[in-house]
Chains A and B, each alone.
Chain A
Amino acid sequence: AQKITQTQPGMFVQEKEAVTLDCTYDTSDQSYGLFWYKQPSSGEMIFLIYQGSYDEQNATEGRYSLNFQKARKSANLVISASQRGDSAMYFCAMREGLSGAGSYQLTFGKGTKLSVIP
């Protein structure tokens, strides 16, 4: 079973609108972390936002927020007021555990390609 599932291969959003990118995860650990990364066409991986499994508040970073629903095992990224520069691939990733082998690596989803339409 996939540990990170991103069901939207591609998404379109109108400029200045908000968009939600879906991410569901699968883990039996109680302690884990969820990350979102952006990969523009230039290829670099840019960290956007982090949510810990014990965090009670949804994480926010500027125009990015993470809609964390622990019981449903979902960690959707919300981008408000989309801009042309938001056009990119977006990857959800998970780190499992606070220590041990699982805590070292990020397990990535396959990504969602977001296109912002002017």
Chain B
Amino acid sequence: DAGITQSPRHKVTETGTPVTLRCHQTENHRYMYWYRQDPGHGLRLIHYSYGVKDTDKGEVSDGYSVSRSKTEDFLLTLESATSSQTSVYFCASSLEAGGPYEQYFGPGTRLTVT
């Protein structure tokens, strides 16, 4: 299994505060992704990265920003957290994008915005 860790694993924060979630992978994968999982929605892509400093928006990117300064790290920032951003956040990585290259997922971060 790909070595992907996420920190923190759980966080409770107040509305309006900034929050940063960290994803770290040890597989030297070029591609990294942030998803959120909500009941009734499956997983939805927030942002993805196709290399250091190369990122783009996914399906539900409003209110989120990302940064990737090193191959192994991908940060997700909620600039000003809202209750609608209460969710479970998954980071993933893959060696390649197209084709049969599966995405390997981290353990998830449960974020609660009060």
Q: Give which listed residue, B56, B88, B103, contacts A43 with CB less than 8 A.
A: B88
Would you call B59 an interface residue if the criterion is a C-beta within 8 Å of the partner chain's C-beta atoms? yes
Collect the chain A residues with CB atoms within 8 Å of residue B107's CB.
43-44
Would you call A101 an interface residue if the criterion is a C-beta within 8 Å of the partner chain's C-beta atoms? yes
Q: A99–B75 Cα gap in the complex (Å)?
A: 24
B44 engages A108 (CB within 8 Å): yes
B104 engages A47 (CB within 8 Å): yes
Looking at the assembled complex, report how far the CB atom of A86 sits from the nearest CB atom of chain B, in whole angstroms: 19
Looking at the assembled complex, report how far the CB atom of B31 sits from the nearest CB atom of chain A, in whole angstroms: 7
Given A101-B56, A104-B31; A109-B42 close (CB under 8 Å):
yes
A50 engages B33 (CB within 8 Å): no
Given A52-B99, A101-B56; A106-B43 close (CB under 8 Å):
yes
Q: Which of A101-118 contact B (CB under 8 A)?
A: 101, 103-111
Would you call B58 an interface residue if the criterion is a C-beta within 8 Å of the partner chain's C-beta atoms? yes
Once A and B bind, how many residue pairs between them come within 8 Å at the CB atom? 62
Would you call A91 an interface residue if the criterion is a C-beta within 8 Å of the partner chain's C-beta atoms? yes
A99 engages B42 (CB within 8 Å): no
Collect the chain A residues with CB atoms within 8 Å of residue B79's CB.
none
Q: A104-B50, A106-B103, A110-B42 are in contact. List 10 more A-B contacts (CB 8 A).
A: A37-B105, A45-B43, A45-B90, A98-B98, A99-B98, A105-B33, A105-B58, A107-B45, A108-B43, A111-B42
Closest 9 CB pairs of A and B: A45-B105, A108-B42, A103-B98, A98-B98, A47-B102, A108-B43, A105-B45, A110-B42, A104-B97
20 examples of A-B residue contacts, CB within 8 angstroms: A31-B98, A33-B98, A35-B102, A37-B105, A43-B88, A44-B107, A47-B103, A52-B99, A93-B43, A99-B98, A104-B48, A104-B50, A104-B56, A104-B97, A105-B33, A106-B33, A106-B45, A106-B103, A108-B42, A108-B43
- Interface residues, chain A, CB within 8 Å of chain B? 4, 31, 33, 35, 37, 43-45, 47, 50, 52, 91, 93, 95, 97-99, 101, 103-111
